[in-house]
Amino acid sequence: MNEQPNFSNSKAFIFDVDGVLTDGLLYCLASGEQVRAFNIKDGYAIRHAIKKGYVVAIISGRKEEGVYKRLRSLDVEHIYLGVENKAQVFAAFLEEQNLLAEHIVYMGDDVPDLEVMQKCGIAACPADAVSDIKKVCHYVSEVPGGKGAVRDLIETVLKTHSNW
């Protein structure tokens, strides 16, 4: 799917964390805490999208307090961490927000994201996503996860809506 997808129905973004908002690396400290690095440009884009009226949500299989605090600092209200069934959370989110699947741009990078990516309006991934994910994507960023792929996607969508 090489042509630019039609983002005209896009009203909300959903992102995975590891491999999308981060580069997928975990730094394990002696205390047992696992630390990740987030890209400041992704953070700016998330805040900007929220200010422009887009809904932003996070659905991640892992649950870490530091991740939650970072996302809240970006004004993200819909944060689902420690999720085992992303498709179930996706369906509940749609109902809660009165959105249709076609309104959602979802960015994931690995097999746990696949089911939701097959149901959303626009499936997107970072440049370094696994091949099974790239096959179902409407938009593959040229940027790797944790290095500005989220910024790239949000900026692309908002520019098509003249909201950037």
Determine whether the annotation assigns residue 72 to a binding site. no
Q: Residue 23, annotated ligand binder? A: no
Q: Is the dihedral of CA 129, 47, 116, 63 positive or negative?
A: positive
Torsion region of 156: left, alpha or beta (phi above 0 gives left; psi -120 to 50 gives alpha): alpha
Give the list of residues 6+ apart from residue 18 with CB closer than 8 angstroms, or none. 24, 26, 36, 60, 61, 62, 109
Residue 47 is assigned to a ligand binding site: yes
Asked if 61 and 82 count as a contact pair (C-beta separation under 8 A), the reply is: yes
Largest CA distance in the chain: 48
Q: Is 109 annotated to bind ligand?
A: yes
Is residue 58 within 8 A of residue 79, CB to CB? The reply is yes
62 is in an annotated binding site: yes
| Type of residue found at 23 | D
**Residues tagged in the binding site annotation for Mg(2+):** 16, 109
**Residues tagged in the binding site annotation for substrate:** 18, 47, 62, 70, 86
**Residues tagged in the binding site annotation:** 16, 18, 47, 62, 70, 86, 109
